[in-house]
Amino acid sequence: MSDPQSKTVVGHRVRKMERTRAHILANAIALFRSRGIRQTRSIEIASASEVSPATLFNYFPTKANLAEAWVRGEIRTFLDVLLRDAGDRGIRSHLRASCRNLAMASFSERALRLEAWRFVARASEPTLRYTAALEILFRREQERSRIRADLAASELAEMVAEAIEGGLISGLRESSDADQVTRRLVARVDLVLDGARKRNERVSMPSTKRDSAN
């Protein structure tokens, strides 16, 4: 039988760790914005967060991990809102709205966000993925027979996540305003959603004469 007091202690420890992590990340983002990511030293982030360098390393081993937590964490926040608001109406219009909000937020700090994404490429592994909300949404759509069921909801979620990242980075690199970033981002996401439509569920290659002979 589990000990309620032990659960309380563990829960308190987890919440404390989450607060410390969020505090470090918030201070890192503030320094990134004032000095740039490359110019910001890890020891400065630790000092601003009032933690030791060893504690900082335990939460974020490198600046790449901090950059990843920032930009991918922001995407996760937008998608969590999407999960909350989508309801029974389907996900396309809500996902487009999330893409638009994400594009506007990112374009306002275009150079810094591109620098952050360059650092993300240096992270040893994706420490912060955000496909959970998308997976739930796709599973709902499959249960309602709105989208194809021959692909796992987790696979569809991963495809959309990759489309979001690719479209956002491409848009920030090549577009001159937030609207163009939005169009690039939405176009990539729409391609995945179009491929997931129910009408594409049962597609088979036509049989050849050789197949018929066999």
Total structural domains in the chain? Answer: 2
Q: Say what the pLDDT of residue 210 is.
A: 46
Question: Could you tell me the residue range of the domain that residue 174 belongs to?
Answer: 62-200
Confidence bin at 41 (pLDDT 50/70/90): very high
Rg over alpha carbons for the chain, rounded to the nearest Å, is 21
Confidence bin at 202 (pLDDT 50/70/90): very low
DSSP state of 199: G
Confidence bin at 212 (pLDDT 50/70/90): very low
Say if residues 79 and 137 touch (Cβ distance below 8 Å). Answer: no
Residue 21 sits in the same domain as residue 87: no
pLDDT digits (tens, 9 = 90+) for 114-148: 999 999 988 766 656 778 888 998 998 899 888 89
Average pLDDT over residues 55-81: 93
Report the range of poorest mean pLDDT among 8-22, 67-81, 121-135.
121-135
Residue 145 sits in the same domain as residue 86: yes
Is residue 148 included in any domain, yes or no? yes
CA 149, 155, 160, 163 torsion: positive or negative? negative
Judge if pTM exceeds 0.95. Answer: no
Q: What is the CATH number of the domain that holds 28?
A: 1.10.10.60
- Look at residue 207 and tell me whether its pLDDT is greater than 90: no
Q: Which helix (H) or strand (E) holds 147?
A: none
